[in-house]
């Protein structure tokens, strides 16, 4: 009798609830993939870790989405590692993007209502690799491939935001163009073969600003700020960055001049029924100024 059939019959005997036809069907070599998944779900529910099934496998067999549900926890671990200095900001950005890509993959695998054993093995392997990278400190992780390596994951997030109606198509197009501009800037920075700490910090701040504009941060517990609220917060950010020495007095003055221009533009837009292109333009200008203020 095949191993799957023996396990299924044992499960039936333990539960005292399965009709004999289930065991007979499990013994047959003609068992369909869907039937195997159903039997696997039963075995996972009854035996769990005793058969080597991970907690995620058991969740998938029950129709759950453990990677999606665990994204906040994973991101919190990254943030904690950044605060302690164990993981660099660039590595953290790449880890967050890669985990988001993994959640997207889980969703694609689950689109037909089930995740096969092969798909579960793939997800487990990718997840374990990310955990090992994070636990090891992710040294050089954010440097490999740089912004270009995260482009596909970023555009996938943007497309998902459009599908969820958090972004318009015009905003999505602008975000993708702005991400390409960061890639081009990174290429210029690397022209001499070295990416300095200040250059990496600049790239990180620009990528963080783009991430914020997508609006899908798993840590976001409040609605996205309006343009007026972002501009008000920018004034505080400029003062804080200047006092901390992250930007010079001259840079702070230049930013405040632009900030005043954008505040007047936002006030004018608030009185009008502006187009999506106008709103996207204002959003992009604010994002660029936020990046400069956070250097």
pLDDT digits (tens, 9 = 90+) for 151-163: 888 888 888 888 8
Q: Is-contact 47 26, C-beta < 8 A? A: no
What residues contact residue 133 under an 8 Å CB cut-off, 6+ apart? 95, 141
Cα–Cα distance measured from residue 294 to residue 35, given in angstroms and rounded to the nearest whole number? 55
- Cβ of 117: how many Cβ atoms within 10 Å? 14
Q: Is the pLDDT of residue 46 over 60?
A: no
**How does residue 203 score in pLDDT terms, banded at 50, 70 and 90?**
confident
Q: Is-contact 259 235, C-beta < 8 A? A: yes
Average pLDDT over residues 31-37: 47
| Predicted local confidence at residue 69, as pLDDT | 92
pTM above 0.75, yes or no: no
| Predicted local confidence at residue 18, as pLDDT | 39
Q: Is the pLDDT of residue 221 over 60?
A: no
| Predicted local confidence at residue 66, as pLDDT | 92
Let me know the angle formed at the C-alpha of 104 by 100 and 106, rounded to the nearest 5 degrees.
Answer: 115
Average pLDDT over residues 257-284: 83
> How confident is the prediction for the chain on average, in pLDDT?
75
Of 24 and 247, more confident? 247
Q: Is the pLDDT of residue 225 over 80?
A: no
**How does residue 257 score in pLDDT terms, banded at 50, 70 and 90?**
very high
Q: Is the pLDDT of residue 14 over 50?
A: no
Highest mean predicted confidence (pLDDT) among 44-48, 167-171, 242-246: 167-171
Backbone φ and ψ of 139, nearest 5°: -60, 120
Cα–Cα distance measured from residue 176 to residue 204, given in angstroms and rounded to the nearest whole number? 16
**How does residue 195 score in pLDDT terms, banded at 50, 70 and 90?**
low
DSSP 113: S
Q: Is the pLDDT of residue 45 over 80?
A: no
Helix (H, G, I), strand (E, B) or coil at 245: coil
pLDDT digits (tens, 9 = 90+) for 83-103: 888 888 777 877 888 888 888
What's the token pair of residue 294? Answer: 């956070």
What's the token pair of residue 212? Answer: 């914020």
**How does residue 224 score in pLDDT terms, banded at 50, 70 and 90?**
low
| Predicted local confidence at residue 268, as pLDDT | 87
- Which region among 98-107, 163-172, 202-211 has the lowest average model confidence (pLDDT)? 202-211
| Predicted local confidence at residue 20, as pLDDT | 38
| Predicted local confidence at residue 122, as pLDDT | 85
Cα–Cα distance measured from residue 191 to residue 170, given in angstroms and rounded to the nearest whole number? 32
- Which region among 11-25, 45-59, 163-177 has the lowest average model confidence (pLDDT)? 11-25
Instruction: Tell me whether residue 57 is exposed, middle or buried, using C-beta atoms within 10 angstroms of its C-beta: 0 to 12, 13 to 18, 19 or more.
Output: buried
Q: Is the pLDDT of residue 129 over 60?
A: yes
């Amino acid at each position: 009798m095949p191993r799957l059939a023996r396990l299924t019959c044992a499960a039936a005997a333990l539960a005292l609830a399965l009709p004999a036809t289930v065991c007979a069907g499990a013994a047959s070599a003609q068992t369909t993939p869907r039937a195997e998944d159903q039997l696997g779900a039963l075995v996972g529910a009854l035996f769990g870790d005793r058969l080597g099934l991970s907690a995620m496998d058991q969740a998938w067999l029950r129709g759950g989405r453990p990677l999606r549900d665990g994204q906040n926890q994973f991101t919190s671990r990254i943030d904690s590692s950044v605060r302690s200095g164990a993981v660099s900001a660039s590595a953290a950005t790449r880890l967050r993007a890669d985990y988001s890509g993994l959640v997207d993959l889980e969703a694609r695998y689950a689109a037909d209502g089930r995740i096969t054993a092969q798909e579960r093995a793939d997800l487990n392997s990718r997840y374990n690799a990310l955990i090992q990278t994070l636990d090891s400190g992710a040294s050089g992780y954010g440097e490999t491939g740089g912004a270009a390596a995260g482009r596909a994951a970023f555009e996938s997030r943007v497309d998902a935001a459009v599908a969820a109606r958090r972004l318009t198509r015009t905003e999505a197009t602008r975000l993708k163009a702005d991400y390409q501009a960061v890639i081009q800037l990174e290429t210029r920075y690397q022209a001499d073969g070295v990416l300095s700490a200040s250059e990496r910090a600049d790239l990180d701040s620009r990528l963080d600003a783009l991430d914020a504009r997508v609006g899908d941060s798993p840590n976001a517990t409040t609605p996205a700020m309006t343009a007026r609220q972002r501009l008000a917060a920018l004034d505080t950010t400029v003062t804080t960055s200047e006092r901390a020495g992250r930007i010079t007095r001259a840079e702070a003055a230049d930013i405040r001049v632009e900030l005043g221009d954008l505040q007047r533009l936002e006030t004018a837009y608030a009185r009008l029924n502006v187009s999506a292109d106008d709103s996207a333009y204002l959003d992009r200008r604010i994002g660029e100024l936020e990046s400069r203020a956070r250097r």
